[in-house]
Amino acid sequence: MSLFPQDIISTAEAIVRDFTAAGLMVSTAESCTGGLIAGALTEISGSSAVVDRGFVTYTNSAKIEMLGVQTETLSRFGAVSEETARQMVHGALFRSRAEIAVAVTGIAGPGGGSPEKPVGLVHLAAKSRAGSLIHRKMLYGDIGRSEVRLATIRTALEMVRSLLAA
């Protein structure tokens, strides 16, 4: 029995298997998921060979202090933005031993949304040390806090897998 749905576990198992075979490590930088991406990966036996570290940066000050997100970026674009997600993933990659990192920042709800940034908006970024970068802007909708977070985990794990395949 797992804390996570089977589809998430299956993807996490594939990541642990493939990263172990390739001798690679991953790190996470999480805001709206609060560490659940790292949690899904560490649910898998053998993940200690793959997961370097996870940064839970729920506040702006944590994003600045732990990941090096620029104050100007947060002021100009906000915490939930492509620019912030890109700086988060860059910080996670270069403040860890990982070859690939993923970062997420979003509005899980039920409150906190606005017409410009509605509940269910999540920006995700994944980056490799080789230089590949993927950004996704997801509009999951107001499907409930837990469902937004689960959808974000699914997307983040798929992005990690796609960078490994690249």
Confidence of residue 50 (pLDDT cuts 50, 70, 90): very high
**Pairing relationship of beta strands 100-106 and 133-139 according to DSSP bridges:** unpaired
Work out the average pLDDT over 19-40: 99
CATH class (in words) of the domain with range 6-165:
alpha beta
Share of the chain above pLDDT 70, in %: 100
Residue 142 in this model has a pLDDT that exceeds 90: yes
Q: Could you tell me the residue ranges of all domains in the chain? A: 6-165
CA separation for the pair 129, 102 (Å, rounded):
12
3-state secondary structure of 29: strand
